[in-house]
Structure 1
């Protein structure tokens, strides 16, 4: 058997890395370790911890059970961002965003809701260009009734939620995620 020429060897290496049999990196254990570190960091250094302690502890305790497969760094970031949602704090962010990250509330919001009513629309935003105006009643966000849309951002799941947490979750659901188109159903 003869030696492969360098260009054929390079081509073989490139093609072998593109096959469906290439191993998938499982970042789940690394994500769990990062979450444990984050949980401890919030316990010791987060200024508003006493007000959010019960919610945070429940989120940290349930994190392993809600974690799905994590094979990319953006998926890892999204999982940790979901954990941070339990703080329902617009200032709690990693300061880095992937295409999968939630838009930061309120700076990433096109409009603001109080209950089901639009109370502010950012001038020049996609919402403003689409004709959303103050006073509009939002019936659904991305096809989900408001109650269902709120649940997507309430963490931990099945925990009781304060009115403050629900208001944050409503506006976080309205802001959406960077990789998802947004739509609202309104009533005038």
Structure 2
């Protein structure tokens, strides 16, 4: 079962990397050739898809908490980009959906196995986003949209916190591991 999960994750990394061409060419080229450390160091200036690539790489390396941190940061930034993007935002939503399925699903399957770690990942993403500039989407020009997107993640945190006692039972019933 573990080998199957690893194969699926590696396939996901391949798909994400190959799908990066849907991102503006200069961005895809820029982060497609970067190491994991370089993506992390430049995360505030890269397209949000790069954060999903980073998350996939980290999960494949067995660093689930870090993968979840970056996946939620990528999700936050991607939702913000889509919210303010108009027509381009609709185009971005196609890649976002694919990344959410291919990277987000395995990361979430891992991180939700420990509710405290899951909550920590979402809070980390909010803190990281707050502390770092966003070179792709202006936080000042689109402050209301940013608040809306951040509030959505805050609501998810509240929901997970409220359901913390039943989440492990639900996971067990669905054949998912609790850690």
Question: Is the TM value for this pair above 0.5?
Answer: no
Normalised to the residue count of structure 2, the TM-score between the two structures is 0.34
Higher relative contact order at CA 8 Å, sep ≥6: structure 1 or structure 2?
2
Normalised to the residue count of structure 1, the TM-score between the two structures is 0.32
Q: Based on CA coordinates, which of the two structures has the bigger radius of gyration?
A: 1
